[in-house]
Chain A
Amino acid sequence: MAFLLVFTTFATTIFESMKILVCISKVPDTTAKIAFSTPNTYDENGVTFIINPYDEWYALVRALELKETLGGTVTVVSVGGADYEPIIRKALAIGADDGVRIDAPESDAFAVAREIAEYAKSQSYDIILCGKETIQYNGGVVPGMIAEMLQLPYVFGASKLDVSGTSVVLEREIATGIEVFHATLPIVISAAKGMAEQRIPNMRGIMAARTKPLNVIASCNAQAKTHVAKFDMPPAKSGCKMIAPEDAAQLIQLLHEEAKVI
C-alpha cells in the first residue's frame, strides 16, 4: 500500500510538471507576394507575417491540448529580433503560458537549432515540439538538429501524438499507410497535418496575452554554416494552351506527342 501511494505520487508529479516547449517561426502570410529587394533579401514591404502554420495549427495546439488533459506548462520559443514579438504574443493569445525570444538575427537552420538547444538544455523540457518545416525555407531540419544537440529521440512529421505517463505514441502518415511509433519522454517531435486543428484566439486570450511573460534572452552567438547567395523566381510558364471542351479527347494525344508525359 505504501509502495502504491509513493508510486501514485510520483506519477502525479510527472504529469503536473510536464513541460512542453513549442518552437515557432515567423513567416510571410500564405498569400503574400514573393519579391526580393536585393538579390538575397526578401522584400517585406506590405507583407503580413504569421506564425508558421505547421508550428501554430499542429504543434502549438496539440501542446495546449496535452496541457489541458495532463497538466503542465507550454512555453513558446522563437529565435529573432523584436519584430518576432507579435507572433509570440499571438501564440500566448492562443494559450501558451509564456514566451521566450532568443535575441539573435535570422540565420540558417544550424544556428537556429544551436540557439534553441543552448536555451533548452538547462530547462529539462519533456517535449520539444516544432512544425515539420517552415513554409518560407522548407528546410525541415531544425528539430532534428535540436534532437542531436540535446541527445534526445526524434520523430519527424507526426500526424498524431498521445502521451501517457512517460510513454509516447506517435503516428506518421506515409505513402502506403500509417506508421505507429512508441517512444518515451523526453522527446523532440515535428508536427504534420492531422495532429490538431487550428484554434482562433478569443478576446479573453488576446487580453491575457498582454500580461503573460515574454522573456528576451541573449543569443549564444551561434554561427551559421550556410548562407543564401541569391533568390530567383522560378521560370515562368510559357502560357496555357486551351482546348475546347468538345475536343477534350485531344488532350491525351497532346500529352503523349507534344508534352511527352504519357
Chain B
Amino acid sequence: MKTLVLIDNHGGKATKASLEAISYAISMNAGNVTEVTGIIFGKIEGDANTSVCGLTQLVNVPSVGDTASMAQFIVKYLNESGSALFISSHDNTGKEIAPRVAVAWEAAMISGVTQMASANGTFSVKKNVFSGKAISEVVTNDNKVVMTVLPNSFGVKKQESAVAIETKEGVLTDGKVKLAEVKGNHAEGGIPLPEADIVVSGGRGMKGPEHWSPIEELAKELGAATACSRPVSDIGWRPHHEHVGQTGIAVRPNLYIAVGISGAIQHLAGVNGSKVIVVINKDPEAPFFKAADYGIVGDAFEVLPKIIDAAKAYNASK
C-alpha cells in the first residue's frame, strides 16, 4: 500500500517520533520499503538521519511555510503518486497537518494509533481512548487513510538503509501563521519530557519545592526527565510543563518512577501507557500501588538516597 510518511524537521534531522512513524509505515507494509516514502520540509542535514530506520526514499521540500501550506503540498503529492496511506506522528506538527490532509484528500482519519493496523479488506487499527483507560478498535472501509501514531508506543525499529533523496520545489506560504520565536529552554540540557525513556516524577509527598534535589539527582543518574503531579504544578512548586496527567502531558516512557504521588485517576490517565511503573509512597493505601509494577512503602527522603547510591554504583559498573 503506497505510503507517505511526514517527517518533522528538528534542526535538519528527523525527530524520534517521526522515525517511529517511518518504522510503523515499513512494518505496516510487511517490510516492503519501496512502498514507503518520507517527506520532510525545510533544510536537512544529509538524509536527516532517516537511514537508521530503513527508509529508502525521501522527498525534501527545502522551503518552509505554515502547516496549511505543507498540507496542501502533501495532498498534491498524495494524489500524483497514487498513495493510499498517509502517516505522521501524533505530535504538534502532525496534529495540525494530518486533519487538513484527511479533509482535502477525502480520506478517513484515525488519530493516535498505538498498535499495528491490519488492512485485509477493511482497514482496522487500535488506539487508546478514555485517556488510556480503554482501547478502541477503529474500522474504516475507505480506500484512503490518514493515521497519526502516538509517540513512544511503537518504537524505532533500527535497520540501516541507503536513502535516495528527491528535492522538490514547493510554493509554500507562511502568511497566516508565523512562528515568531522559540522562548526559553525547558529541558535546560536535560531530556524533554515527552521523548524521555525514563521519567522520575514527584508529588505533594515531596513536601515543598526546596526538597526536589533527590528527584533531580535520581533523574540525572538514570538519564531521565523530571515530572510532577497536578497539585505540585498548580501550587507552583514545579513549572506547568512538568505536569503529567489527564489535563497535562500524557507520557509513555519505558520506566515511570512516582515519588510521593497518591495516584489519583486523573494522574494515572497521563501515565498508564508507561511500560514499568515504580511507586514510592509512605501511605500503603495509596491507589497508585494498584497500577504499579514495583512498590516501596516508605519515606521518600530515606528511600531515595538508597536508590540514588545504587544507581551511581550501577552506572560505575557499566
Contacts and interface: CB of A to CB of B under 8 A. Distances in A.
Interface of A: 28, 30-31, 34, 36, 40, 53-54, 57, 109-110, 113, 135-145, 147-149, 153-157, 159, 169, 171-184, 187, 193-194, 225-234, 237-238, 240-245, 248-256, 259, 261-262
Contact of B102 (A141, A238, A244): A141
23 contacts: A31-B266, A109-B111, A139-B111, A141-B99, A141-B109, A141-B111, A143-B99, A144-B97, A144-B98, A144-B100, A147-B99, A157-B92, A175-B195, A178-B184, A187-B177, A193-B248, A226-B110, A232-B134, A240-B295, A248-B306, A249-B310, A252-B314, A261-B276
**Main SS class of interface, A:** mixed
B96 A155 contact: yes
A261 B255 contact: yes
B109 A109 contact: yes
A248 B303 contact: yes
A225 to B, nearest CB: 4
B139 A226 contact: yes
Interface string B159-183: 0000000000000000011111111
Interface string B103-124: 1100111111000000000001
B13 to A, nearest CB: 14
A135 B130 contact: yes
B185 interface: yes
A141 B98 contact: yes
B235 interface: no
A228 B71 CA distance: 27
A180 B177 contact: no
Interface of B: 66-68, 71, 90, 92, 95-100, 102-104, 107-112, 124, 126-140, 142, 148, 176-187, 192-195, 198, 222, 240-241, 243, 246-248, 254-255, 265-266, 269, 272, 275-276, 278-280, 289-299, 302-304, 306-307, 309-311, 313-314
Contact of A148 (B71, B193, B279): B71
A92 B176 CA distance: 32
Contacts of A144: 95-100
B294 A178 contact: no
Contact of A145 (B99, B140, B241, B313): B99
Given A240-B292, A242-B297, A261-B254, A177 B138 contact: no
Contacts of A28: 130
Contact of A255 (B135, B185, B255, B303): B255
B139 A253 contact: no
Contacts of B99: 109, 113, 141-145, 147-148
Contacts of B195: 175
